[in-house]
Structure 1
Amino acid sequence: MQNVTIYLTNYCPFCTMAKRLLDGKGVSYDVIDVGNSKDDWAAMEARTGRNTVPQIYVGEHHVGGFDDLSAADKSGQLDQLLNG
């Protein structure tokens, strides 16, 4: 199974929903909390080209935010990425 990384903040409801979706699938993930670090936030923006959280990676594939993750799950693409 591919490694999953989530850039998030602890107070973001979409971040919580993303974690719940992955937890429900039994997927473990690494968390990078960018909420208290301008450097971590800047690194996330540089890597993703986006300035909102969550930002989710499966391996080196940038899935996007929660809406993107949810759509990938519904289409079956998320399972393909995870098993990639």
Structure 2
Amino acid sequence: MTSNATPEILIYTSATCPYCVAAGNFLKSKGLEWREIRVDLDPAEREKMVALAKRTSVPQIFVGDTHVGGFDDMMAMHRAGKFEPLLEGAQ
């Protein structure tokens, strides 16, 4: 059974993070929507992000259950042709 549903894009961000803005701009340029969680406003969410990503820096980007990483990781995946298939539900 195939699903046309795009996996949710989730980005952990903070207010003072230029890479968070760049990640949002890249996703916007592709016509994508995402859910943003501000870890600078919610320490519990920061703890959750660190537990999931094993990293303390922002942004931390997830597509569905897949941890993409930060902005540079996402752009590297994009350049390698691996980001778009992830958006289409490929694991």
Q: TM (normalized to structure 2)?
A: 0.88
Runs of 4+ in 1 over 3 A off after TM superposition: none
1:53 to 58, 61, 69: 58
SS at match of 1:76: coil
Identity, % of aligned positions: 38
* Structure with larger Rg: 2
Task: Give 1 or 2: higher helix fraction.
Answer: 1
Structure 1: gaps (5+ residues): none
Q: 1: distance between equivalents of 2:29 and 2:47?
A: 30
Instruction: Give the length in aligned residue pairs.
Output: 84
Shift of 1:47: 1.0
* Structure 1 vs Structure 2 CA RMSD: 0.8
Q: TM (normalized to structure 1)?
A: 0.95
Shift of 1:33: 0.6
Structure 2: gaps (5+ residues): 1-5
